[in-house]
């Protein structure tokens, strides 16, 4: 186990983009954050996705971490906020036909139009071109997770790597992909 000074040292290294420090922090706190999320969602996939997002957000915002608070507490507060955001996105408007029958006819057709499909395909082609700018091992994990829709466990098995390595690799790949896209100047 790490004591406070070791944790603070890892945080400082992570602030300087030290990948080993990121990995060590993720390994140390993964179970705590996952357990917290699973206790809220009761769904393994949801808990895992929000846990990944928690670490991605924490590592992106690690410069804002205040040493007055425990790192675990900071991670859990990020995770709690992400869970609330997740719940908000899930809520949908329901229509009670017996109260206001006219509202039932205002339902929106959510099927994509042919134009939407073309735009989607163009955006997908652009995204795949951006992914090709990554190093091959990052391309591979992005491909397996987002285009082949494999679980983290399936990716780890397919690549013969530990699950936490896959999680760290995906976090890093997404961050690098974001940087590539962010730096593209509009045509």
Number of domains in the chain: 2
- Tell me what pLDDT residue 124 has: 77
Measuring CA to CA, how many Å separate 98 from each of 95, 105, 137?
Answer: 9, 13, 56
Calculate the average pLDDT of the chain: 82
Same domain, 77 and 119: no
Q: Looking at residue 29, what is its pLDDT?
A: 92
Instruction: Flag whether 149 is in a domain.
Output: yes
Please state the pTM of the whole predicted model.
Answer: 0.55
Residue 113 sits in the same domain as residue 174: yes
Residue 96 lies in a domain: no
**Listed residues 45, 60, 90: the one ending a domain:** 90
Same domain, yes or no, for 61 and 115? no
Which among 51, 17, 18 is positioned nearest to 34, based on CA atoms?
Answer: 51
Same domain, 8 and 80: yes
Do residue 81 and residue 133 come from a single domain?
Answer: no
Mean pLDDT calculated for residue range 168-176: 87
CA distances from 57 to 74, 156, 164 (A): 11, 22, 17
Quick count: other Cβ atoms within 10 Å of Cβ 57?
15
**Structure tokens belonging to residue 62:** 């690690």
In a domain, 95, yes or no: no
| Cα separation, 63 vs 78, whole angstroms | 14
pLDDT(109) > 70: no
pLDDT tens, position by position, 146-169: 888 888 899 999 999 888 888 888
Mean pLDDT across 86-106: 60
Domain ends where: 55, 90, 125? Answer: 90
Residue 45 has pLDDT above 80, yes or no: yes
CATH number of the domain residue 56 falls in: 1.10.1740.10
Angle value at C-alpha 178, between 174 and 180, nearest 5 degrees: 115
99 within domain boundaries = no
Q: Which domain holds residue 172?
A: 109-182
Between CA 147 and CA 128 the distance in angstroms is: 10
């Amino acid at each position: 186990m790490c004591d406070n000074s070791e944790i603070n040292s890892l945080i400082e290294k992570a602030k300087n983009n030290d990948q080993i420090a990121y990995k060590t922090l993720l390994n140390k706190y993964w179970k705590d954050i996952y357990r917290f999320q699973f206790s809220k969602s009761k769904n393994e996939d949801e808990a895992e996705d929000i846990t990944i997002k928690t670490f991605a957000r924490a590592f992106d915002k690690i410069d804002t971490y205040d040493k007055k608070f425990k790192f675990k507490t900071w991670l859990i507060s990020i995770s709690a906020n992400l869970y609330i955001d997740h719940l908000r996105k899930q809520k949908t408007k329901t229509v009670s036909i017996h109260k206001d029958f006219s509202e039932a006819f205002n339902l929106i057709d959510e099927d994509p139009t042919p134009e939407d499909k073309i735009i989607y395909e163009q955006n997908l082609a652009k995204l795949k071109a951006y992914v090709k700018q990554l190093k091959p091992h990052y391309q591979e994990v992005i491909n397996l997770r987002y285009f082949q829709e494999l679980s983290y466990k399936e990716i780890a098995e397919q690549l013969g790597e530990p699950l936490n390595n896959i999680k760290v690799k995906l976090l890093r790949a997404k961050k690098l992909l974001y940087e590539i896209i962010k730096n593209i100047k509009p045509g």
